[in-house]
Amino acid sequence: MDRRRTENNEEALAQGRPTLKTLAFMTGLGVTTVSRALKDAPEIGAETRRRVQLVAKQIGYRPNRAGVRLRTGRTNVISLVLNTEREIMSFVSDIIYGVSEVIADTPYHLIVTPYSRSQDPLDPIRYLVETGSADGVIISRTQPNDPRARYMLEHGIPFATHGRTDMGLVHPYHDFDNYAFAVEAVRRLAGIGRRRLALLSPPVGLTYHSHTVNGFADALSEVGASEIPFNTVSIDHTIEQIRSRTAQVMRREDRPDGFVSSAAAATLAIVAGIEDAGLKLGRDVDVVSKQSSDLLHLFRTELLVVNENFRLAGSELARSVLGWIGGAAPGTLQSLSVPSEVLAYRRSLD
Amino acid sequence: MDRRRTENNEEALAQGRPTLKTLAFMTGLGVTTVSRALKDAPEIGAETRRRVQLVAKQIGYRPNRAGVRLRTGRTNVISLVLNTEREIMSFVSDIIYGVSEVIADTPYHLIVTPYSRSQDPLDPIRYLVETGSADGVIISRTQPNDPRARYMLEHGIPFATHGRTDMGLVHPYHDFDNYAFAVEAVRRLAGIGRRRLALLSPPVGLTYHSHTVNGFADALSEVGASEIPFNTVSIDHTIEQIRSRTAQVMRREDRPDGFVSSAAAATLAIVAGIEDAGLKLGRDVDVVSKQSSDLLHLFRTELLVVNENFRLAGSELARSVLGWIGGAAPGTLQSLSVPSEVLAYRRSLD
DNA sequence: TTGGCAATCTGTAACGTTTCAGTATATTGA
DNA sequence: TCAATATACTGAAACGTTACAGATTGCCAA
C-alpha cells in the first residue's frame, strides 16, 4: 500500500455513508477490486472476496443508487402505472402489496406513476421510457390492441400487463380468467332456475370486457337462457348511474331474474337498484358478483360470489417483469388465474 | 467557438437522449452556462437564457435524475411508508392519488415503501434515511410517542405524519379530527334516544385511538349516556372477530343501543353481529360509522355516517412534505380535517 | 534462462450534473 | 487614459459506480 493512496483516502473514513472508496481503504484494495469482489466476479481471489464482503456487511455498505444508475443506466425501479380515476379501490392496495412482497428482497423500488382521465394513457409510458425512469413497467386496464404495450415492445423496455392483449405480439401478462368467471356465473344462475340474465360488464375497450361478454354469451346458449341487455352501463359508471339503471330495468315487464356483476362496488349498486324497484334479492332475482375482499356476504347473504385475488395478481406481475428484466423469454412469463367456484353463504352449494 | 470543443462534442448530437452537453453543443455555449441558464440563474444574459430554454424545450431536454442525484444528493423522491397488512384498503389508493395530484407537476416521484407485521416499523425509515433514498417521507399509523418521527427529526429528513404525535416535538401532520367525530357521533346517537353506547375504536397505541376514546368519553358525560365496554376488539381485528364479539355483546342483558365505529369495513362486521343476535339496526340499535367512500348507505340505509376524505389527506400530506423540503417552517405545515356532520339516509336530520 | 500464461489486482475514464474558481469583455469613474 | 468593476461566460473537479485496458506476480514448459 503506497503512501499516496493512504493519503488520498484517509478522508474516506470520515465520511458519513460508506462507499467503495471507504471499503477500498479499509481493505487496502483498489476500488475496482472491491466493486468486483462484491459482485462475486471470478477473477477475484476467494479469500479476498470473502474478506471484502465481510467488511462490507460489517460497516453496512449499500451501493449508491445514483452512482449505479448513472454508470449503468439501471434504475432498479419498477413502475406501476395507474389511472387515478378509474381504478378499482381495493385493487390498488392489493396490487401494490403483491408487488411489494415480490420485490421486498431485491434492490428494486416501486414507484407509482399516475395518469388522469384527461391524459392519453400513453403519456406516462412515454415519460418513463424517454426519461429512463424505470427498468420495468406494470400496466393495467389493458386493451386488445394496446398502444402502450406496442410502444414498450418497440422501445425494448420490459413490462407486464394486467390483462391480456390481442395483437399477435407476445409479452408477459397476468390475467384473471373472466371468460371462465362469466361461464360459471351463468351456469350457477341457470342452476337455480334463472333464465333471463343481465351482465354488468367491464368497460368496453378493455380486453376483459370481451372475455366476460363472450363467456356470458357462450354460457347463455349452453344453458339455454336469454340475455336482458344491460350494456348502457359498465363497472366504470358511478354507483348512482348503475343503481338507477338497474332500478329502471327491474321495473320492466321482461326484467332479468339474474345478474352477473364484474365488480363488488357495482354489485352494491345493483342490489340497491333491485330493492329500489321493490324486488327482493334471492327471491325475485339472484346476483353473482366478483369480489376481491370477502365482504359482500356481509352486505346481503343472498349474494353469490367469485373471488379475485389482486394481491396474487400483483405478485405475478412483479415476478413477470423481474423475469423479463432478468433475461427470461417473455412468452414464459404469462399466467392466468382460475376463478374460485361460485360461493354462496345462505344457500348451500347444490 | 474553438475547434477542440466542436470536435469533442460532435458526438453529442448522435446521442439518444439529450444532455447538457447536447444543449451546449447546439447553442455554442459551455455546459455550465446551459445548466445555469436552465435554472434562471441571474448571471446569465436574458437573451441567452431564453435561447437555451427554447432549445431545451424544442428537443425535449429532461435533466438526468441520476446525474442530479449523484451530484446534489437530492433524489426528487417522496416515499409513502405503508404497513402491508394493517392499512385500510381504500385508504391506500386514496392517499396515493391525493399525493399524486400534488406532485404531478413537480419533478417528484412517489415510491411506496412497505413493511410487514413482523418488522419493526422503524426499519423502513432507517433504510430510507441510511440509503438517502428519499427527500421526504410520509408515514401513517402515527403514535403519541412515535419513534419514527423522532428518528426522522434527529436525522433531519423532512416528513409528514398522517395523524398527530404527542411528544412535544413539532413536525408537519395532517389529521382527521377524530375527537370531533366521536363527539358528534355520540351526540347524534343521544339525540335519537340512545343511552348505552359502545365504541369500536382504532387500535390502542395509535394517537387517534385516544382522540377517539376521549371524544367518546367526553360526549358521553355531556349527554349523560353510559358506555358499554367494547374494547376487546379494534378496527385492526378481523371482520370475523368483530362480528362474533358484537354478536356476543348484543346477546347480553345490558346490550348497547348504539355503536360508534371508526371504520367502514368494521361497520359491516358490527351490523352482521347485530343481526346474528337477532336484533334490528335502526330499531334495537343505531350505528354511526366513519366511511371514506360513499357506500355504507347502500349496505344498510339505517346507518349513520361521517365521511373522511383520504384523498384530501394525501394531498395535504404531500403539500406538507414538499413545503418542508422547500424550507417552510414545520409548524406551519399542520392541518386538521373537520368531520362532515353525521349523515343519515333513511331518517331525516332532526 | 526465457517466454508464455494464468491468476489477481489496479488506475483511468466515463455516465450527467452542479459548484468552484476563475477568465474575458465591456463599462464605469477619475 | 487607466484601473476598477460589473457582466457574461467557462473549464475542471467531484458525486459513486462500473468497464476497459492494463500491470504485477508466480509458475511452468521449452
For range A238-253, the mean pLDDT:
96
**Among A residues 218-257, those touching chain B with beta carbons less than 8 Å apart:** 239, 243
Size of interface A-B (CB pairs under 8 A): 115
Tell me which of B349 and B113 has the higher pLDDT: B113
Q: How far is CA B2 from the centre of its chain?
A: 55
Question: Chain B partners of A114 at a C-beta cutoff of 8 Å?
Answer: 96-97, 100, 104
For range B9-17, the mean pLDDT:
61
The Cα A343–Cα A41 span in angstroms is 54
Given this model, what pLDDT does residue B43 score? Answer: 84
Task: Count Cα atoms within 13 angstroms, Cβ side, for B128.
Answer: 31
Encode pLDDT of B182-240 as tens digits.
Answer: 999 999 999 999 999 999 999 999 999 999 999 999 999 999 999 999 999 999 999 99
Encode pLDDT of B59-92 as tens digits.
Answer: 999 999 999 999 999 999 999 999 988 777 678 8
The Cα B180–Cα B290 span in angstroms is 12
**B65-72 vs A65-72: helix crossing angle, rounded to 10:** 140
Of B75, B89, B112, the CB nearest to A112: B112
Which helix H or strand E contains A112, and what residues bound it? strand A109-115
In this predicted structure, the answer to whether residue A8 has a pLDDT above a threshold of 50 is no
What residues contact residue B120 under an 8 Å CB cut-off, 6+ apart? none
What residues contact residue B260 under an 8 Å CB cut-off, 6+ apart? B182, B185, B186, B189, B197, B198, B199, B200, B216, B287, B288, B289
Q: How far is CA B205 from the centre of its chain?
A: 18
Tally of helices (H runs) and strands (E runs) in chain A: 14, 12
pTM: 0.94
Residue type at position B254:
D
The Cα A293–Cα B300 span in angstroms is 19
In this predicted structure, the answer to whether residue A331 has a pLDDT above a threshold of 70 is yes
Q: How confident is the model at residue B268 (pLDDT cuts 50, 70, 90)?
A: very high
Inter-chain CB proximity A100 and B112 less than 8 Å: yes
Say if A97 is an interface residue toward chain B (CB within 8 Å): yes
What residues contact residue A12 under an 8 Å CB cut-off, 6+ apart? A19, A21, A22, A24, A25, A26
- Whether the CA torsion B98, B100, B104, B107 is positive or negative: it is positive
According to DSSP, the β-strands at A334-337 and A173-176 are: parallel
What residues contact residue A226 under an 8 Å CB cut-off, 6+ apart? A195, A196, A197, A220
Encode pLDDT of A88-143 as tens digits.
Answer: 767 889 999 999 999 998 999 999 999 988 889 999 999 999 999 999 999 999 99
Encode pLDDT of A60-96 as tens digits.
Answer: 999 999 999 999 999 999 999 999 887 776 788 999 9
Given this model, what pLDDT does residue B12 score? Answer: 52
For range A311-318, the mean pLDDT:
97
Question: Chain B partners of A299 at a C-beta cutoff of 8 Å?
Answer: 268, 298-299
In this predicted structure, the answer to whether residue A220 has a pLDDT above a threshold of 80 is yes
Inter-chain CB proximity A89 and B90 less than 8 Å: yes
Q: How confident is the model at residue A346 (pLDDT cuts 50, 70, 90)?
A: low
Following DSSP, what letter does each residue of A167-181 receive, concatenated?
Answer: SS----EEEE-HHHH
Residues A257 and B287 sit within 8 Å (Cβ to Cβ): no
Q: How confident is the model at residue B9 (pLDDT cuts 50, 70, 90)?
A: very low
Given this model, what pLDDT does residue B348 score? Answer: 40
Encode pLDDT of A257-285 as tens digits.
Answer: 999 999 999 999 999 999 999 999 999 99
User: What percent of chain A has a predicted confidence (pLDDT) above 90?
Assistant: 85
Given this model, what pLDDT does residue B119 score? Answer: 87
Given this model, what pLDDT does residue A11 score? Answer: 52
Q: How confident is the model at residue B328 (pLDDT cuts 50, 70, 90)?
A: very high
Q: What CA–CA distances, in Å, run from B10 to A188, B6, B14, B23, B246?
A: 70, 6, 8, 12, 76
Q: How many residues does chain B have?
A: 350
B288: three-class secondary structure by DSSP? strand
Q: How confident is the model at residue B6 (pLDDT cuts 50, 70, 90)?
A: very low
Residues A285 and A274 sit within 8 Å (Cβ to Cβ): yes
Residue with cell 360526549: B219
A163: left (phi over 0), alpha (psi -120 to 50) or beta: left
For range B275-303, the mean pLDDT:
95
Given this model, what pLDDT does residue A244 score? Answer: 97
Which of A218, A186, A184 shows the shortest CA–CA distance to A199? A186
For range B303-315, the mean pLDDT:
96
Say if A59 is an interface residue toward chain B (CB within 8 Å): no
B139: three-class secondary structure by DSSP? strand
Which of B128, B201, B204, B143 shows the shortest CA–CA distance to B175? B143
A130 touches strand C (CB under 7 A): no
| C1'-nearest nucleotide to the CA of A46 | C8
Q: Which residues of A223-253 are buried (b: 16+ CB within 10 A; e: fewer)?
A: bebebbebeebbbbbebeebbbbbbebbeee
The Cα B270–Cα B240 span in angstroms is 10
B8 touches strand C (CB under 7 A): no
Cite the DSSP H helix spans in B206-341: 207-223, 239-250, 264-276, 296-299, 310-325
In this predicted structure, the answer to whether residue A229 has a pLDDT above a threshold of 90 is yes
In this predicted structure, the answer to whether residue A144 has a pLDDT above a threshold of 50 is yes
Instruction: Please give the span between the terminal C-alpha atoms of chain A, in angstroms, as a whole number.
Output: 81
